[in-house]
Amino acid sequence: MDVSIVIPLYNEEESLPELCEWIDRVLSGHKLSYEVILVDDGSQDASWAQIEALKGKYPQIRGIKFRRNYGKSAALHNGFAVAEGEVVFTMDADLQDSPEEIPEMRRMIVEEGYDVVSGWKKKRYDPFLRKRVPTKLFNWAARRVSGIRLHDFNCGLKAYKLNVVKSVEVYGDMHRYIPVLAKSNGFSRIGEKVVQHQERKYGVTKFGMDRFMKGFLDLLTVSFLTKFGKKPMHLFGALGTLMFLVGLGMALYLGIDKLVALLKHIPQRLIADSAFFYIGLTSMILGTLLFIGGFLGEMVSRSAAERNSYEVEKEI
């Protein structure tokens, strides 16, 4: 099979018939075999009834229905688990992602050897202050932290080699960072394509301003996990040792200064009256706690079943 398209959806009954007809027209026109995996993330409208009806019209459609709303990452995770196409696409169900982009993005994967191709909605039709400005700030921070030079991490239209989606675990709100997770698993050929952004035709957006705060927090999480997930002592141990040494240096300075003053019979105030005493003491306590945290994290990591789980690309 050439293409799998994983489409998470929540209350999108109006757009589904038009979307499936559009996908079929484009991919059939390019003579590509395909499957569409529609993941109903606990919709409260008639979305599942639409999926059942569309399944009768388009045999390529597969449907997954959640009992309640779990979020986009959960929907993608389950869609990836059953995908079988050579190239796996993700796209939104609201008709803002154009299926016309699929053939070229597939070609970039198959012919140019990219592991991931991300869409870039260079011209957006979203509200300026509510979505476009926060999105620019978010993408700037994501580029700086991850080192991946993508302009649009939030774009729902992305293409992956099949083995990429089978190797990453998407959970929480990590769907924005699948390229980062892929890179951490050794899939470093990540490309980008300018794609057309459509104005929303039906319904309302499911995302509020809170998603940007969650996005920044998730960025810190995924950055930590990819760099220190299997070696937490390298971060916490180093920070703890540094803080402890700073505190110890302050304590030694105060102690030596007090001792010299006593030997020379110079009047000296109590060590506890100095602000450096409390700063040094706090630094040593925090440094010790960080070191212990890193040590415990290392113990947990070493006890994990997947501690020696590595991706093997080839073997002869």
Domain spanning 3-228: CATH superfamily: Spore Coat Polysaccharide Biosynthesis Protein SpsA; Chain A (3.90.550.10)
Phi, psi of 74 (to 5 degrees): -65, -40
Q: What pLDDT, on a 0 to 100 scale, did the predictor assign at position 132? A: 64
The residue that leads in pLDDT, 26 or 142, is 26
The letter for the amino acid at 46 is A
The domain spans of the chain are 3-228, 233-303
Q: Under a CB-based contact definition with an 8 Å cutoff, are residues 48 and 40 in contact? A: yes
Beta strands in 175-246 (DSSP E): 190-194
Per DSSP, the three-state class of 192 is: strand
| Helix locations, 93-176, DSSP H | 102-110, 133-146, 162-167
Tens digit of each residue's pLDDT (9 = 90 or more) over 76-101: 999 999 999 999 999 999 888 999 99
Q: Under a CB-based contact definition with an 8 Å cutoff, are residues 174 and 167 in contact? A: no
In 3D, which of 16, 12, 8 has the Cα closest to residue 39? Answer: 8
Q: What pLDDT, on a 0 to 100 scale, did the predictor assign at position 220? A: 75
Residue 97's beta-bridge partner residues? Answer: 197
Tens digit of each residue's pLDDT (9 = 90 or more) over 37-76: 999 999 999 999 999 999 999 999 999 999 999 989 899 9
DSSP secondary structure letter of residue 193: E
Per DSSP, the three-state class of 92 is: coil
Per DSSP, the three-state class of 116 is: strand
Q: What angle do CA 150, 197, 124 make, to 5 degrees?
A: 75
Which residues, in sequence order, are CB contacts of 164 under 8 Å at separation 6+? 88, 115, 116, 182, 185, 187
Phi, psi of 114 (to 5 degrees): -70, 145
Q: What is the mean pLDDT of the chain?
A: 85
